[in-house]
A and B are shown apart, each in its own frame.
Chain A
């Protein structure tokens, strides 16, 4: 048996097909979800992929957050449905308050696209068990609004509870506080990060590394073994 993982397409989503490919390569079954859907088609997990939903107008993720599909998603995520937000998906999750903090414009004010080194800080979330804590990986990063910010108390809390899931290594590409690249909720089912694991799943393509594949094998194992 395998797991069915939904990928939501909002107007302006860009990496929906790439994310479906990554899910397929990991051995799971991708299920296309549409932003106007009012139910989640009984998927076992959901990925909110990267892109510029609604052109990133107003604020990145701010308009997509109010899409019909977000209602069942919010409800089920709070009940434990695994959700991964990548880049714009992360921004949507923070706008929806499923994850703390928010993303500002990169501190250098430019879009940045690079092969980014990260450290996996938490290898116990639903999406990271195939990594080991402290593992160093390279994942492509590409965004305009990637500067993670939250108030000091929230940041301290995240650190204390081990909820900083990924940290930028060697180079902080956007001015994120405490080099934070991704965070998880307390239950570990909702994870968001700015870099794009779905772009690091095949040798030869992109940077030629496959450091992103464990995101998708982690969730598959969790769902199949559940």
Chain B
């Protein structure tokens, strides 16, 4: 089994109300010097069998059509090597 991680973030030009609310709360909690916060989603996909190029391509399609709303979100797909080693 291998783990593939899909990170989904709002595109940089899209307003992120959630990140903004978090960022504004930071000074009150004593955390200074953080100029921007953006919040995203992380998906961990446990894949049966080898994570070859074909599998990654399928996951890419899955991310593009389902996990991310590409009208407003970008995504990245990567294999998490460490997880594989542990398992």
Interface residues of A (CB under 8 A from B): 54-55, 57-58, 63, 66
B21 at the interface (CB under 8 A from A): yes
With A66-B28, A66-B29 in contact, is A55–B17 under 8 Å at CB? Answer: yes
Interface residues of B (CB under 8 A from A): 17-18, 21-22, 25, 28-29, 39
Query: Main SS of chain B's interface residues?
Result: helix
Contact B18 A57 (CB under 8 A): yes
B61 to nearest A CB, angstroms? Answer: 23
Contacts of A66 in B (CB 8 A): 25, 28-29
**Closest residue to B22 on the A side, CB-wise?**
A58
B17 to nearest A CB, angstroms? Answer: 6
**Closest residue to A58 on the B side, CB-wise?**
B22
- Measured CA separation A190–B17 after assembly (Å): 32
- Measured CA separation A62–B28 after assembly (Å): 13
Contact B21 A55 (CB under 8 A): yes
Contact A57 B29 (CB under 8 A): no
A76 to nearest B CB, angstroms? Answer: 21
What are 20 of the A-B contact pairs (CB < 8 Å)? A54-B21, A54-B25, A55-B17, A55-B18, A55-B21, A57-B17, A57-B18, A57-B21, A57-B22, A57-B39, A58-B18, A58-B21, A58-B22, A58-B39, A63-B21, A63-B22, A63-B25, A66-B25, A66-B28, A66-B29
